[in-house]
Amino acid sequence: MKYLYSLMTLCLISFGAFAQKTAYINFQQLVAAMPESKKAADSLQKYADQLNADGQVLVAEYTKNLVEFDSTAKTLTDAQKEIKVTALKQQQANIQEYKYKMEEKLSVREQELLAPIVAKAKDVLKALLKEKGYALVLDNSRDAVVVANEADDLLPLAKAKLGIK
């Protein structure tokens, strides 16, 4: 009898857990719709342009040295050529290293700019979760959920709460 009672209790708890409301949202779409995202994208683009301009100085200097080497190569000794070629290879390596560091810097800046925006969006979703009584909110922007029962789309509610039209 005790076994039957335990089994019935477990079934009731399980059915109660499955009866909870579930919702979904395209989180990337929500973040992209926020006005702060546009400002962050503009700021990131300005930063990228600045870094790119600095990189162009390195490329211009390399190009100048390469043209100079091509025009004077016939008059140089083998030892001089070797020194110039080594210098040109070092400049190429410096350009590649700069590109790598530039990408790292851009990634870090993007994370810095997006962190408060993502936090704000998550706060809105947490508030909606409590207000509407949802137990779970899924992000369908990555197509992680292949098939699911009917659920509520929170994107319109989240946009309204953020004042986005």
Domains of the chain: 16-162 (3.30.910.20)
pLDDT, tens only, 91-129:
999 999 999 999 999 999 999 999 999 999 999 988 988
CA distances in angstroms from 118 to 78, 102, 149, listed in the order given: 59, 24, 27
Give the pLDDT band of residue 143 (cuts 50, 70, 90): low
Q: Mean pLDDT across the chain, nearest whole number? A: 85
For residue 26 the two structure tokens come to 């395209």
Do residues 52 and 102 touch, judged by C-beta distance below 8 A? yes
**Which residues make Cβ contacts (< 8 Å) with residue 50, sequence separation at least 6?**
none
Amino acid found at 62 = Y
Predicted pLDDT at 12: 45
Predicted pLDDT at 144: 62
Structure pTM?
0.70
Which ranges in the chain belong to alpha helices (H)? 2-18, 27-33, 35-72, 78-132, 155-162
pLDDT, tens only, 7-20:
444 444 544 455 57
